[in-house]
Structure 1
């Protein structure tokens, strides 16, 4: 059984889009990405999992425990970073972190200072004096401070500059190496590609696919650029052409079929050059969304 299990999890709203029949599982010590554009249902899924909002139907477990019946126990071992961080403005960062650490019954001051230093966060400043990016850093330290078994991060890098993002990803890799499981949502595909073992793609509240990053980028889909000797009518069809663009002598394909079958078709055509490349996650993602 996975650390996180969702079974047909559904949250309906009258006006806003919720989520419908979302099912997937996350294994121990896995970095699992959850991608989709804003409004696709990522935050709704996370907030339902954390029992901040009630599911309409379906069920989910974390550490094998029901998310509604055992939410208190579950939270002891979960670190959570919301997409927007709101705190008591007149508190100093250090006091806020000590206060939140008490909920978990332990404060490791050395760890707090170490995390803050690595994210370049001054813990002696007041919350009201911090920029959006620095408030995000407070949220990251708070989420990691008690060394949770499960770390849930909702759009964690928004507001962080690229250097701090790198430090943050190093921290996550270290936590995973110590045995933590990490679940993070994002609409920035490059960071998902860099960090995750597997990824779930959500579209308009429904799960579209759960794949390994390797499977998404390596096995299925290729970018193929064919250069003809003259501007050519590219008329033939082969199973697996997901998208084609013609630009003068060049034809670009997003192709998920057998390479052999495509080359067979090209053999009798006035082809000057063929370039076969791995697509970016971005291109694959757009294919799922079209």
Structure 2
């Protein structure tokens, strides 16, 4: 079932087109990655989804409801974590968590205590004394304690140390196992790769790629480290071979994934002694597309 959908979502700020016909379709129980560098349009998209700003044209619906007209009904079932959390400085962390839980109608004190212990937060301290990482913990605890149906997270691990990042990732995976949905906007590609079922890459306000990591990896290259009995003469001229270099008595190069079959047939004639393969990562895909792709209308 589709839980979140945008259709030709466009947002203008004066003459500047911040979003250019953005199309997203997110399924229930899915962790959906939304990636792109600062200024690409991620936060603007999320602000439209949260009903904080109105789209210039196009539509956005969550739980089948219009995010602008039915914002109150939508917010009852979502939890939002921004990348830069601002809290009431004179309230304690525990009081802020309680406030957000009350707004969501959640009374699970056991879950609250469990999360406070997991994230190692002192809830008795006033928010004005918290570091950025501790403010982030308050927002994450409040979100995961709310038992929302959809979590919208914009750079949620900003300011967290690696241990806390792992705890966050575990909570996201548990939420998915419980049938919850997570829209994760992040520039930490390894985090997206670990957590997300599908990803969209946004560039200059337009979606340039969408799909599962398996779907997208055919668009990038596999790195091979090769050692042969005889020098593989002519390898650099073989279709699909790129970035040829000598390394530790072997040859390292990249191969377009769709050309692997005939490249392997070519090098096998030289007597393979050693062959190591590294599959393409999300970072490879992202960098390749961000350097070369132009936004396409959806």
The answer to whether TM tops 0.5 is yes
2:141 is matched with: 141
Instruction: Quote how far apart the aligned CAs of 1:65 are.
Output: 0.8
Give the direction of change, closer, same or farther, for the CA distance of 1:204–1:225 in structure 2 (3 Å limit). Answer: farther
Which stretch shows the higher mean deviation, 274-283 or 8-17? 8-17
1:191 is matched with: 191
1:99 is matched with: 99
Instruction: Quote how far apart the aligned CAs of 1:271 are.
Output: 7.5
2:295 is matched with: none
2:45 is matched with: 45
Give the direction of change, closer, same or farther, for the CA distance of 1:259–1:106 in structure 2 (3 Å limit). Answer: closer
Which stretch shows the higher mean deviation, 196-205 or 266-275? 266-275
Which stretch shows the higher mean deviation, 210-219 or 86-95? 210-219
Distance 1:10 1:58 in 2: 6
CA RMSD of superposed structures (Å): 2.5
1:276 is matched with: 277
Instruction: Quote how far apart the aligned CAs of 1:208 are.
Output: 1.3
1:116 is matched with: 116
What secondary structure does 2:151 align onto? strand
Aligned residues: 288
What secondary structure does 2:2 align onto? coil
Instruction: Quote how far apart the aligned CAs of 1:274 are.
Output: 4.5
Instruction: Check conservation: 1:223, 1:255, Cα contact below 8 A.
Output: no
Instruction: Check conservation: 2:223, 2:252, Cα contact below 8 A.
Output: no
Please list every run of 5 or more consecutive structure 1 residues that lacks an aligned counterpart in the other structure.
none
Distance 1:121 1:218 in 2: 43
What secondary structure does 2:61 align onto? strand
Instruction: Quote how far apart the aligned CAs of 1:110 are.
Output: 2.3
| Pairing 1:235-254 to 2, within 5 Å after superposition | 235-238=236-239, 240-241=240-241, 243-247=242-246, 250-254=251-255
- Structure 2 residue 260 is matched with structure 1 residue 259: yes
Give the direction of change, closer, same or farther, for the CA distance of 1:231–1:177 in structure 2 (3 Å limit). Answer: closer
TM-score, normalised via structure 1 length: 0.89
Give the direction of change, closer, same or farther, for the CA distance of 1:122–1:67 in structure 2 (3 Å limit). Answer: same
What secondary structure does 1:173 align onto? helix
After superposition, give the CA deviation of every residue in 1:148-182 in whole Å (9 maximum; x if it has no partner).
00001111111111111111111122222221101
Instruction: Check conservation: 2:232, 2:270, Cα contact below 8 A.
Output: no
